[in-house]
Structure 1
Amino acid sequence: MLIYINNIFFFRGQRATLSQQAEIISAKEEDNDEEAYRLAELEKEKKAEVIYANILSEKAAEEEAKKAVDDGSNLIDDTDKDDDEVEYEMWRQRELSRIQRTIQEREDFFKQQEELTHRDQMTEEERNAIEELHLKEAAEKQPKRKWKFLQKYYHKGAFFQGEDEIYERDYSKPTGEDRFDKENLPGVMQKKRWGLKSNTKYTHLVAEDTTRFDDNLFLEGQLQKTKRGRENPKEERRK
């Protein structure tokens, strides 16, 4: 592959020396610096105008607020109305209810202090008798309900018991599939989560014997007890 080089002739007036090229470059740089300075000054002037406009708007808002306060147009209307008797009756009812509440709280406090003082002076047998009586009364108020076979247990919560109607519901009632009597099912189906992958082979602990004498851990524990008894016969007799 051949490459041809074409020589181009420049006249003397078209030729530029190194010094002339440097002068041209410096002149262009000065022009660029001047343009950048001019743009920066314009940006500063725009920012100053925006700040000045904000200051003027804030001053105008402050003056309007001062005028409104001086006029009293934004103040709360605390003037007395014509229905003074109605207002007085409402205040009287509020004050009576407050006094009654204060008296009741004070009586409850003194009653509680008297009960604590009386309880401190009682013997242990008397305290146990009172606690048994309270437990009996609580059981009579809320008798233990009989649960259905394999019924799920739902706890209603112990940290908050408000006066809302939802907290007075009977949470021991069966719901969903627990409404069906599972005692009529075949024995193989009387399991929790029957038919699911997470089912268990046990019905409940009452119906199962969890004692395993052929367990390795149980046998190992018995051997260790026997070994300790042989090494320390006096300590084993004490136990």
Structure 2
Amino acid sequence: MTGDTLQIFSEFLGTMILVLLGDGVVAAVSLKKSKAEGAGWVAIALGWGAAVTIGVYVAGSMGPAHINPAVTLAMAIIGNFEWALVIPFILAQTAGAFVGAGLVWLTYLPHFKETKDEASILGIFATGPAIRHTVSNIISEIIGTFVLVFALMMFGKNIFADGLNPLVVGILVLSIGLSLGGATGYAINPARDLGPRLAHQFLPIPNKGASDWAYSWIPVAAPMVGGVIAAVLYLVIT
């Protein structure tokens, strides 16, 4: 593979691993007759933090390991990434998220048949608000993504031991999940929500309901806004 192709593939692979492990922990907690059924929000937040860490380790061996369109856009704005690769990265991330969600479906295939709650099934694949309030939901996703992207940029101002950076990123996502995630389920990543929501729409998942496309634009648009705000602040203070 050429350098650019390898980087694009790394985003696909890293995001696939991210969603496989992240949506996987939600499936483990939510689906009937799973050994982890009912483990709760803390287990989900820990699982997502670990998923991000592993995804970054995987993608980081071949590329910048954004695994998030909001991060890709923000890095281009501050001059740390080529604009020509922004769209290919976002497409690769979304495709990787779709495949990762499909692997979760295959992993827990018989459990979907045992689970009748449509909301729980959708929640494995896509985020949704605890209280549906458009303005508040948008603000929540903007704030969460701002914290994610701005902290990632500031991490670049620090020196970490070799190989430690992905672990710190995972701790960051864990912190966001525990502190800010209760309002909307903290998508903070357009690909992480859109790819699996598409999987929910098209895969023959037993007992699934609607994919809630009326809400779907919020976890796509709001994280991009949060990333842009983080990038602008970074440029102002550095």
TM-score range, shorter chain: under 0.3
Structure ranking higher on relative contact order (CA contacts 8 Å, 6+ apart): 2
TM-score by length of 1: 0.16
Task: Give the greater-gyration-radius structure (CA).
Answer: 1
Give the helix-richer structure, 1 or 2.
Answer: 2
What TM-score results when the alignment is normalised by the length of structure 2?
Answer: 0.16
